[in-house]
Amino acid sequence: MARVLLNALARGAEYVSSLSDSDRLILNGLKPQKLQFDKNTVVFREGEPANHFLLVERGVCFSHRHLENGSRQIIDLYFPGEVVALGELSKFHHTSGLMTLSDTVLAAYDKTRITRNFSRSPVLSRLFIDMISQEQANLTDRLVGLTRYNARQRIAYFLLEIRFRANRARQLQPGLRRGVGAKRLIPKPALWPPNMVRIPQVLIADSLGLSIVHVNRVLRQLRQQGCIATCGQGIVLLDVEALEAIAEWCSPEPVPASLQSNG
């Protein structure tokens, strides 16, 4: 059974563009509040009261949790069109923090309003159940992946998933209007190669439960193998099929001889 992107492709329920028109009408009727954040900014911290649920309109952010020993675990990334921390709908406090990775615009919906609408619209409540279920399925996949696949496979899978989600988000917003106060310090996303992923390596490490050093090592291997190329702070996916093969390959694959000699 092919693992690669099976789930990422199925990952549609929590993706707003896949909502039906009637659903979207209901959501739009809720009059969200638009919030704007610079890159590398804290949106909220673990434990803070959670009164809204958030939809990413522009930019990328990620939810994370800090451990007592100082390390952090990134729970998930959120691209435009995706919903942040769905599972917290029924919680009064955030169970994980949220930070922006780039300049970001969020649409904040009041929770009590949404909850009130559940009573009036069974469709909406059913929609939320489906969305949360989908997110749970993704979490389960990730859990299995983290325990049963090695760093190579996890990184390959991660890159593919990020590429997929980033591209989907890009299609959603072909004409990227410049935000009012948003600074443009990074090169225009539209100019990036289609298979480029712009993400600091430390974020990959904290997502996959690896050390940044080891992430770097694996990336070097993949580079020497011709699967990827690094350009500045970006990673270009050169050979998607090879990455897919690595990611879905489950038994410990033999390290290619070419790699060992070059290492």
Binding site for DNA (CB under 7 A): 150-152, 185-186, 200-202, 209-214, 216-220, 230, 232-233, 252, 255
What secondary structure does DSSP assign to 8-25, as a single string?
Answer: HHHTTTTBGGGS-HHHHH
E strand segments, 118-254 = 196-198, 228-231, 234-237
Residues counted in the chain: 263
Indicate the helix (H) or strand (E) that contains 170.
Answer: helix 151-172
Q: In the bound complex, what is the minimum distance in angstroms from residue 137's beta carbon to DNA?
A: 24
Residue selected from 75, 107, 160, 182 as contacting a second copy according to rule CB under 8 A: 75
151 touches which of a second copy, DNA, none (CB within 5 to 8 A by kind)?
A: DNA
How far apart CA 196 and CA 210 sit, in angstroms, is 22
Region binding a second copy by CB under 8 A among candidate stretches 48-56, 102-110, 117-125, 224-232 = 117-125
217 makes contact, choosing from a second copy, DNA, none, with CB < 5 to 8 Å by partner type, with DNA
Q: Which is nearer to DNA, 67 or 190 (CB)?
A: 67
- Given the complex with a second copy, which of 39 and 72 has the nearer CB atom? 72
Per-residue contact track with a second copy, 176 to 215, x per CB under 8 A?
--------------------------------xx------
Q: Counting contacts by CB under 8 A, is residue 152 touching a second copy?
A: no
Neighbouring residues of 143: CB distance < 8 A, sequence distance ≥ 6: none
The nearer residue to a second copy, 86 or 196, going by C-beta atoms, is 86
112 is a site residue for a second copy (CB under 8 A)? no
CA distances from 194 to 5, 80, 151, 184, 237 (A): 17, 16, 25, 20, 9
Burial class (CB in 10 A: 0-12, 13-18, 19+), 65: middle
Identity of the amino acid at 159: L
Q: Angle between the 122-148 and 111-120 helix axes, to the nearest 10 degrees?
A: 120
At CA 155, angle to CA 104 and CA 87, rounded to 5?
50
Shortest Å, Cβ 123 to a second copy: 9
By CB under 8 A, the count of residues binding a second copy is 46
Q: Which is nearer to DNA, 95 or 102 (CB)?
A: 102
Task: Judge residue 34's burial from the number of C-beta atoms within 10 Å of its C-beta, 0-12 exposed, 13-18 middle, 19 or more buried.
Answer: exposed
Question: For residue 83, what is the DSSP state?
Answer: E
Parallel, antiparallel or unpaired: strands 61-66 and 97-100: antiparallel
Q: Is 164 among the residues that bind a second copy (CB under 8 A)?
A: no
Q: Which is nearer to DNA, 83 or 160 (CB)?
A: 160
Q: Which of 250, 255, 256, 260 binds a second copy (CB under 8 A)?
A: 250
Residues within the interface to a second copy (CB under 8 A)? 1, 3, 13, 65, 67-69, 71, 73, 75, 86-91, 95-96, 115, 118-119, 122, 125-126, 128-130, 132-137, 139-140, 142-144, 146-148, 208-209, 248, 250-251
